[in-house]
Amino acid sequence: MIFKKLARQFVAPVAAATLALGASFSASADDKEIVLGGSIPMTGPFAFAGIQFDRGLKDYVEWINAQGGIEGHRLRYVGEDTGYQQDQSVAVFRRITSRENVNFYFGDSTAFQQAINRELDRRDILMTGASFASELNNPDQYPLQFLLGPDYSEQVGILLRHIADESPGARVALIHSDTEFGRDPIAFGRNMAEQLGLTVAATIVTPPGAADISAAALELRRARPDYAIFHGYVLSPIPDFIQRARQMGMDTRFMGTYYTMDQGIINEMGEAADGFMGVMPYRYYYDEEGPAPIMDAIRELHDEYQSTTYIQGWMTGVLITKIAGETIRAGKELTGRNMRETLDSLRDIDTGGIMGVPANFLGNSIPIGRIYRADVSKGQMVPVSDWIILD
């Protein structure tokens, strides 16, 4: 009796699991399959984005397979949590690549993408990921990696280009966290500001997520910039900076880069968000301007707002589809090097409306973005510039 009960409660699920595993192994043996592996930060400090990458990638894979796959090949996604730790990211890479014949890989951080670079070369895998680090935008050193938009320097460059167009000769402050992420675009930003005839009134460094920004806020007041660009933060201490600036009667316009610009983050800023601007390489979920079949597909799938990092997951899928599709059409094997050649040959990539203009790679990045502004009364980010392409 007990045995039978055990059999029902334990043996049956084990058998089901074994069958499912068997099914997944037999699926992996299918030649007509493209595998996308992923070291995904579903826990840890970057989980807010990692969970959305995971959802976006899964939804895209389901969607493209429902459309017939990529040139008749089924796309399969295998992602695992890394906790946003470099050694775990590498462990997940090793675990997935030891089981699967991986064609593409999604990395979770600059440190991981740097560390795994040599292994990509050995295994001939093409990688993209969460990082927009300028360091990775170097095809000589990172030939098997590409970014899903403009690198951080280019993001600041797009903001500066907008400022120079809007207010020639304006004074700009660069406020960044004291991290690899925060420091990334600062030297480039200072140079570009100078070239555009802008004045860098101050460069202010704070710890990431700093709680007390009194001294930094006073430094900002002394500099009296027309614009202040935040980089290297997700939320804190941006709202505090803005509120203090307003209390001090400053009319500085505040701006942010990609990871600060999601609607959810802007909502968390509360009243301080009104008028906050920033660069965004992708359309927002509710931006229905122009034909955008991929954005329509996302809206059809979900009738509530989807974050920009979720859309980044779809952008990964769209670029993979283009690169793999062209490589297959050219009759080449889906190796990293072949796909890199394809990537270099792609022109005017149609991202299905995720980007508002045809995309072109420049090095490893796609230096395209648009300036959006938070409109608290509408509860939305509204575009305030055309799509800006850096060359």
Partner 1 sequence: MRIGSPKETYIADEALFRTRTQWMWFGILLAMLAIYPFVANMYWIFLLCLISINIISTTGLNILTGYTGQVSLGQAAFMGVGAYTVAWLDNNTGSPFFINLLAGAGMATAIGLIAGLPSLRVKGLYLAIATIGASFILQFIFINWESVTRGTRGINIDPPRVLGTELDNPDTFYWLVVPIMVVMVILAANLFRTRIGRAFIAIRDRDISASVLGINLPFYKLMSFGIASFYAGMAGGLYAYFFGAINPESFPLLMSIFFLAAIIVGGMGTILGSILGAIFMTLTPEVLRYGVDFASPFIDNPSQILSPLRTAVFGAVIVGFLLFEPHGLAEIWRRIRRFFHLWPFRT
Interface contacts to partner 1, rule CB under 8 A: 13, 16-17, 19-21, 40, 42-44, 47, 51, 54-55, 58, 79-81, 83, 86-88, 90-91, 94-95, 97-99, 110-111, 114-115, 117-119, 122, 135, 141, 178-180, 183-184
To the nearest whole angstrom, how small is the minimum distance from the Cβ of residue 1 to partner 1?
A: 25
Which is closer to partner 1, CB of 123 or CB of 332?
Answer: 123
As a whole number of angstroms, the distance between CA 160 and CA 141 comes to 27
Residue 53 makes CB contacts below 8 A (sequence gap 6+) with 38, 40, 79, 106, 130, 309, 310, 312, 313, 316
To the nearest whole angstrom, how small is the minimum distance from the Cβ of residue 95 to partner 1?
A: 4
To the nearest whole angstrom, how small is the minimum distance from the Cβ of residue 174 to partner 1?
A: 15
The gap from C-alpha 149 to its chain's centroid, in whole angstroms, comes to 7
Which is closer to partner 1, CB of 74 or CB of 99?
Answer: 99
Which is closer to partner 1, CB of 119 or CB of 219?
Answer: 119
To the nearest whole angstrom, how small is the minimum distance from the Cβ of residue 230 to partner 1?
A: 17
To the nearest whole angstrom, how small is the minimum distance from the Cβ of residue 43 to partner 1?
A: 5
To the nearest whole angstrom, how small is the minimum distance from the Cβ of residue 166 to partner 1?
A: 30
Residue 261 makes CB contacts below 8 A (sequence gap 6+) with 278, 279, 280, 308, 372, 381
Which is closer to partner 1, CB of 86 or CB of 327?
Answer: 86
Which is closer to partner 1, CB of 122 or CB of 222?
Answer: 122
**367 to each of 47, 104, 152, 159, how far by Cα in Å?**
26, 22, 10, 12
Quote the DSSP letter at residue 136.
G
193 class by beta-carbon count within 10 Å (0-12 exposed, 13-18 middle, 19+ buried): buried
Which is closer to partner 1, CB of 161 or CB of 176?
Answer: 176
Residue 9 makes CB contacts below 8 A (sequence gap 6+) with none
Which is closer to partner 1, CB of 99 or CB of 190?
Answer: 99
Q: Is the peptide bond before 237 cis (omega within 30 degrees of 0)?
A: yes
Which is closer to partner 1, CB of 97 or CB of 338?
Answer: 97
Q: Please say whether the beta carbons of 156 and 133 come within 8 A.
A: no
To the nearest whole angstrom, how small is the minimum distance from the Cβ of residue 41 to partner 1?
A: 9
Quote the DSSP letter at residue 252.
P
Q: Please say whether the beta carbons of 302 and 314 come within 8 A.
A: no
E strands present in 178-244: 199-206, 227-231
To the nearest whole angstrom, how small is the minimum distance from the Cβ of residue 192 to partner 1?
A: 18
